[in-house]
């Protein structure tokens, strides 16, 4: 059986505990044995190297050197990593090793909660199959990203809230490799209610299953 670890915490505005419960349910439905922890100390456990998947839901906060070293080594050796919004890519801002593994980092959300479109960049990819361009209301993440990522979906900034970024096309979802590990990320998922959007939920579900190492 595939085993997944969810570690939630950090800024409460992203509703990490509620989101962790939803993600745990999704993974259990897909046949995972799921473990849920609420401290970054879980990342330091040597046993994580035997997992199939790790899902961080831990906005901002701090991570200790030994914790991030063990986490990145586990992914480099084949454990999958998947996550969403600030829970994965606005976590541990002072850890460049963590950011290198994730493939990107949040830097701004002009206008905060806004309406925008999500465009499918790779309709041929199994994660995006059958998903067409869709409207979304949330924080539209402006990110600094690794040029090595494989972009699955994008959004285009209107410039309404920051005129100098008008027309900028920004990744919304991507996947890439970190050593032997597979990494998936999507910028959607500011609060738990966004899991009610079918496209958002489907992308994350498929992305987690893609990233997970076979048990």
Q: What's residue 214's pLDDT?
A: 84
Q: Token digits for 155?
A: 């959004």
| Residue partners of 201: CB distance under 8 A and separation at least 6 | 26, 195
**Is 84 within 8 Å of 103 (Cβ atoms)?**
no
Longest dimension (CA), the chain: 50
Assign residue 131 the CATH number of its domain: 3.40.50.880
Q: What's residue 215's pLDDT?
A: 67
What CA–CA distance (Å, rounded) separates 77 from 34? 20
Summarised one tens digit per residue, pLDDT across range 137-149 is: 999 999 999 999 9
Q: Token digits for 41?
A: 């100390």
Domain count, the chain: 1
- Which of the residues in the chain have pLDDT under 50? none
Q: What are phi and psi of 46, to 5 degrees?
A: -55, -25
Enter the pTM of the model: 0.98
Which range of residues forms the domain containing residue 201? 3-211
Q: Token digits for 120?
A: 């499918």
**Is 184 within 8 Å of 132 (Cβ atoms)?**
no
What CA–CA distance (Å, rounded) separates 129 from 123? 5
Where does 44-99 show beta strands of DSSP type E? 53-59, 80-84
């Amino acid at each position: 059986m595939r085993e997944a670890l969810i570690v939630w915490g950090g800024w409460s505005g992203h509703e990490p505990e509620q989101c962790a419960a939803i993600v745990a349910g999704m993974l259990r439905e897909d046949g995972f044995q799921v473990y849920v922890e609420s401290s970054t100390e879980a990342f330091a456990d040597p046993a994580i190297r035997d997992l199939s998947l790790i899902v961080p839901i831990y906005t901002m906060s701090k991570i200790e050197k030994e914790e991030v070293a063990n986490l990145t080594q586990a992914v480099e050796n084949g454990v999958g990593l998947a996550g969403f919004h600030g829970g994965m890519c606005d976590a541990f801002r002072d850890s460049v090793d963590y950011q290198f593994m994730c493939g990107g980092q949040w830097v701004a959300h002009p206008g905060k909660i806004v309406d925008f479109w999500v465009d499918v960049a790779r309709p041929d990819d199994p994660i995006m199959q059958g998903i067409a361009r869709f409207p979304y209301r949330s924080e539209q993440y402006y990110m600094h990203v690794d040029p090595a990522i494989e972009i699955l979906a994008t959004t285009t900034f209107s410039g309404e809230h920051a005129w100098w970024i008008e027309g900028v096309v920004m990744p919304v979802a991507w996947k890439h490799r970190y050593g032997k590990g597979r990494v998936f990320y999507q910028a959607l998922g500011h609060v738990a209610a966004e899991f009610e959007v079918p496209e958002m939920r489907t992308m994350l579900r498929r992305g987690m299953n893609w990233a997970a190492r076979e048990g």
